[in-house]
A and B are shown apart, each in its own frame.
Chain A
Amino acid sequence: MPELKYDPYNLIITGVGGQGNVMSSRIIGNMMSLKGFFVTIGETFGASQRGGSVMSHVRISTKETVSPQIPKGKAHMIVSLEPSETIRVLMDYGNPAVQVITNTRPTHPIGVISGQAEYPSDQNIEEWINEISSKAWFFDATEMAVKIGHPIFSNIIMAGALAATNELPLDREIFETIMNTKFNPDKAKSNLEAYDQGVASIV
């Protein structure tokens, strides 16, 4: 088992209910578990997540099962499917060393839709995230996903992007194996395409 940069390595996957957060954390978790690591994933789902903020805590260790909740201020990497959610997670779990990969496509909360709240500009979001992280990547994963065939693929694009940062030993072969056991060949192919596009987004 390779050594980890931090043990446990604290990864947060965030977004809005319905974006495929849970699937993304499961796949990344399984990729690490199949390599022999101890993986603990903390997440919540149910009615409270309808249209609301969602967050999965994925913790990877060479030694043991750990708390399914990451302590405040202790995230090493935040992978986000929605830009304002990145900022929300940074407030609680960020620190000067944290790294961030974020989808730039907003999903407006109803407060914004109904005109009671304002959604920040793309430029502000990028500046702010850069200010409170050590390194950040931005790209429109939703647009890429729609081109592949469905917005849901953005969760797999993000997984590919995470792999390309080399923060965690994520192997494409293991991803491929999981896809082939989980999905029919057509879907598996689209997922692999999404993963590869995510990899290519990290420069």
Chain B
Amino acid sequence: MSIFTEEQNGTRHLLMGNEAIVRGAIEAGLDVAAGYPGTPSSEIIETLAKYAEKNNHYVEWSVNEKVALEVAAAGSFSGLRSLAVMKQPGLNVASDFLLHLSASGTRGPMVLLCADDPGALSSINEGETRFYARLMEIPLIEPGNFQEAKDMMKWAFELSEEIRNIVLVRTVTRLSHASGNVTLGERKESVGKAFFKNDGFILDPMEGSVMSAPVAYKHGEQQVKLKRCAEIFEKSPFNVYEGPVNPELLIITSSICDLYSKEAVSLLNAEKRVGILKLGTTFPLPPKLIEQYLAKADKILIVEEVLPFLEESIKVLAAELAPTIGAKQFFGKANGDIPMVNELNPDIVVTALSSILGIEYKEVDEEYKKRASEICFFGSPARETTFCPGCPHRASFFSINKNISMDNRSGFTCGDIGCYSMGMLPGGFSTLKTLHAMGSGTGLASGFGKMTKFGMEQPVVSVCGDSTFFHSAMPPLVNAIHNNSNLTMIVLDNSGTAMTGFQPHPGLEVDATGSEAPKIDIPSVCKGMGVNVEVCDPFDLAKTQETLFKFLESDGVNVLVLKQICALSPEKKGKKMFNMSIDDSVCLGGECGCNKMCTRVLSCPGLIWDRETEKSTINDVICIGCGVCASVCPSGAIKKEEA
């Protein structure tokens, strides 16, 4: 009994935004889906993969987002309904192909789902995908709630079929990872039969070769499709106005900000003064609809997250329409009422509204707020994110940090994207000194390794995860080898895409659906490139440090694979390697010269420093028995016993 395999038309469920998106794609009659994991988008491909066999879908985790978009496009070119899924930075990776795809056009309906992360709740950027719609000249639609997440996903396929081009659906963390009630709709039959027509007239969009040339012709056709979209959007049921006939202030908003705006208006009891126009179709804007509502009010507030995408488009329209609708006063990003960084929430919208409308608002009594803040200062010590108890990355960074310090030539480590990005933080001994896009750690290291020409003698290290290795770290490794750079690349191989929930990757023996798949061996790939490779268990601190010492001393490119499965992985979860204990008679506690190597330095959450006895203890509730702390204790007081 699953809503992902059965009809269940008309039934009501509590669904996560991403589940609603999946159901929408299934209702649309999906055939093919491909993506690369990335919070907050991962559950979409994961769920589709789980039910792929029953639904007769083809679903894959692709090596990276560009390949995912290409695989999905192949489905479309074969006449099937296809979907590509990624988080925002993934679209940067896929954008080169997207530029050409949007010009060549699609055949079977094709949707690109991008999940943005305003406020960087699980990212190291808050980049925007909305601007890609303008740049690539493709339609953009944005669901504003859970029901729309399903309904608009289904509609996106219909729209793509009508204009024969890819449709971008944008969601955000607060929708994808939030849950709400959704009533299911009818399921369409999948196409199910693939054939790529390619021998027709060269300019025939359905039977000729698929390409973006001749450029002027194809580009012109693309723009005709976009004009058609604007016409369709004029009548879209996903553009909704709620409020008085002639509001004093008109809010124009989209995505999850619609719910924040509604809440803010309600908190200020301003329902009779403010109207909200929620746009589901945000590029291209439907000009007549916008004109109709702009004409209703003199003051306009644009509520959207991060950059002024809507604001700028609406201001351009308002300038063109000024002769008929008159001059408008705009509030939003430009005047500073709505911030340009971070995610929004109801309180930020309340602040903007109360200033525009002159309504006073206090979230809570001042006295209470003051006292609660005082109590929080003493009662709630900062909780910095750190590696889980038993995480192999803590052990790896402990060794890397120690080796670089002992080497004493101001060596440094370039970081990459994964849980191990936390190597930037004190919990990872502040080991990482650069952190950018996927694969960029080794790319930067490749460059740093050539700075010897200018007198730089610092040893260069880069880290990357096993999934990142395949995604985008192989080209910079090739670059480093070919250009005779000097660096040590450390592959932190924890057997899965751990940060996003253990999705498989090409280095594992299973694919997205759990079927057996050929495994690509990372050390063999590196050996094939002609570099020196060694594999160590990061829990074996001595061997790891000895190897790393050797690599830091030597010239050229060396690869160290630190292989140990993630502590949270389904295969390992709950299984202790060792039963850990502390021999009180051996632990010198506060008197030991180590100055708390176990708790202060290693700082694993599985250890507790008892202030009264001034000795270390094991937190049995969370310790998973990796045994690393036993290796760092200079007195040998921490004991490990095979579990």
Contact = CB atoms under 8 A, between A and B. Distances in A.
A202 interface: no
A88 B376 contact: yes
B600 A69 contact: no
Interface in A58-92: 65-69, 71-74, 84-85, 87-88, 90-91
Interface in A86-122: 87-88, 90-91, 94-96, 105, 107-115, 117-120
Most buried by A among B146, B380, B500: B380
Given A41-B179, A47-B122, A72-B364, A132 B372 contact: yes
A16 B364 CA distance: 26
Contact of A47 (B173, B499, B605): B499
Given A47-B499, A65-B147, A114-B603, A120 B378 contact: yes
A81 B122 CA distance: 22
B181 interface: yes
A75 to B, nearest CB: 10
Interface string B454-481: 0000000000000000000000000000
B54 interface: no
B421 interface: yes
B216 interface: no
Interface in A110-143: 110-115, 117-120, 124-125, 128, 131-132, 142
Nearest to A88: B380
Given A48-B122, A72-B347, A42 B174 contact: yes
B88 interface: no
Nearest to A26: B179
B108 interface: no
A107 B173 CA distance: 27
Nearest to B367: A96
B371 interface: yes
B70 to A, nearest CB: 26
Given A108-B608, A115-B596, A131 B375 contact: yes
Interface in A38-55: 38-53
A4 interface: no
A43 B39 CA distance: 13
Interface in B393-431: 418-419, 421-422, 426-427
B599 A115 contact: yes
Nearest to B383: A109
Nearest to A181: B1
B381 A48 contact: no
Given A29-B14, A87-B376, A115-B596, A39 B384 contact: no
Interface string B344-356: 0111001000000
Given A33-B14, A41-B180, A91 B380 contact: yes
Contact of A110 (B364, B426, B622): B426
Contact of A46 (B178, B382, B499): B499
Contacts of B380: 84-85, 87-88, 91
Contact of A113 (B181, B375, B379, B605): B605
A86 B125 CA distance: 29
Nearest to A108: B608
A51 B426 contact: no
Nearest to B15: A33
A18 B174 contact: no
B121 interface: yes
B363 A74 contact: yes
Nearest to B606: A113
Interface string A19-48: 000000010011001000011111111111
A151 interface: yes
A61 B384 CA distance: 34
Interface in B120-159: 121-122, 145-147
A200 interface: no
Contacts of A113: 599-600, 603-605, 607-609
Most buried by B among A68, A69, A132: A68
26 contacts: A17-B385, A18-B622, A39-B179, A39-B180, A41-B179, A45-B122, A47-B385, A49-B385, A50-B387, A65-B147, A65-B181, A68-B174, A68-B175, A69-B346, A73-B369, A84-B383, A85-B380, A110-B384, A110-B605, A111-B381, A111-B383, A113-B603, A113-B608, A114-B601, A115-B600, A151-B621
Given A65-B145, A67-B346, A72-B364, 14 more contacts: A16-B383, A29-B179, A43-B178, A47-B39, A47-B385, A52-B383, A67-B260, A67-B345, A72-B363, A88-B380, A94-B372, A95-B368, A113-B600, A113-B609
Which 9 A-B residue pairs are closest in the complex by CB-CB distance? A46-B122, A73-B364, A68-B178, A73-B363, A46-B39, A91-B376, A33-B14, A52-B385, A87-B379
